Amino acid sequence: MEKGPTLITILHVIDSLAPGGAERMAVEIANATDKSMYRLGICVTRSDTTLAKEIDPSVALHVLGRDSRFDRKGIRRFQELVRESRVDLFHVHGRSSMAFVAMARTLRLVRQPVLFHDHYGRIELDDSIPLWLKLWGRTHVSQYVGVSSRLSEWAQRAGIHPSRIAVIENALNLDRILEAQPVDIRRELNIPESTLVGLWVGGIRPQKGLELLFRALRELHCDIPFVILVIGGVGDQNYYQKCLRELEQLGRLDQVRLLGSRGDIPNILRGGVDFAVISSLSESGPLVLIEYMAAGLPFVATHVGNICQRAHDLGVPGFVPPGNPLALARALQQLLSLSPLERKERGEIGRHIALEHFDIRKHMPRWYQLYEKVLCEGKDS
């Protein structure tokens, strides 16, 4: 009996699978990877596994449950997992996870090559180089992949050789949006048919600029009735309180609904939302823009991150400078003033761009090339 080809084992390493951009990408890439070539696992080094239900059954899930960056027991559990799973390559998501793996390599508990996938979303606000990376982290990075050109520039400053730096922009399995069953959000929230429904999605923390949206609404002079649904968990309690104070000053609380975290974003996108908003001050993506476009939603978005730059370059309208509430207000007013047909036509521009350029399946060959590059160089060293 002939043996099948030996599969390469790739272990994705990430702090958690809480809803977020890096977490979403770890799941998307693992699911989309060719299972005839690779054996896949995801190692959650802490404990949150909210997105685990979306992992393909062929992808093994491991949870270390460490309680600190350099948890000794967690590092030992990681060593045992790597040995038992016969891992060939680490695909590490995020800087905290990279610090964890670098520590394990420094202690010679693991030796496999590392592909460091950097999703850092605050790069436009903070481009400092962590001390751990300066001291020993970069020596353990076989390949650096940033999700934006800003991150690749940062990696060079951090001392990573240009030959080991690549940029692969984020992409998604768009079927998750296109095949979602619509949720009638109007009915659920008792919103009149005559009122336009907008959507803002993101973790509530400073770089997402939610207070900027509320300031923009104060500058908005529009007779068209609308409401904006804010969906996202609180990542920074002090910032959340600041946003609430801004909302109180707005004086039109009926224009904003704070819905907290929800796991049915694709369904809501397909369920009667009329437009979307991104008000971020810094992004590496943002992934939610791909979701808005795939759903055919017209949007107004601050011009931050590689996905915004790429969509803008491809002719998708709706971008404004970050940190400018007046510009955001003017763009929102223009969008609200469009006829239903004009909004649909504008949304269709984004939908076609999403299908053509942001489908994860079209990006996977580039990942395979990097995996093979890292593994070959590892054999030669």
More confident residue, 187 or 222: 187
Three-class SS state of 62: strand
Return the pLDDT at 68.
Answer: 80
Per-residue pLDDT, averaged over 235-256, amounts to 89
Per-residue pLDDT, averaged over 40-60, amounts to 97
Q: In which band, very low, low, confident or very high, does the pLDDT at 380 lie, cut at 50, 70 and 90?
A: low
Determine how many CB atoms are found less than 10 A away from the CB of residue 141.
26
Three-class SS state of 12: strand
Q: In which band, very low, low, confident or very high, does the pLDDT at 1 lie, cut at 50, 70 and 90?
A: very low
Per-residue pLDDT, averaged over 169-190, amounts to 95
Give the separation between CA 131 and CA 137, rounded to whole angstroms: 9
Q: Name the token pair of 90.
A: 């680490």
Q: What is the pLDDT of residues 65-84, one digit of tens each?
A: 998 877 888 999 999 999 99
Q: 10 pairs with which residues across the strands?
A: 40, 89
Q: Name the token pair of 221.
A: 């002079």
Q: What is the pLDDT of residues 77-104, one digit of tens each?
A: 999 999 999 999 999 999 999 999 999 9
Per-residue pLDDT, averaged over 337-360, amounts to 97
Q: Considering the chain, what is the average pLDDT of its residues?
A: 94
Return the pLDDT at 6.
Answer: 85
Query: CA distances (Å), 294 to each of 36, 88, 133, 202, 271, in order?
Result: 29, 35, 37, 17, 13
- 381: pLDDT strictly greater than 70: no
What domains does the chain contain, in order, with CATH numbers? 8-172+360-380 (3.40.50.2000), 175-357 (3.40.50.2000)
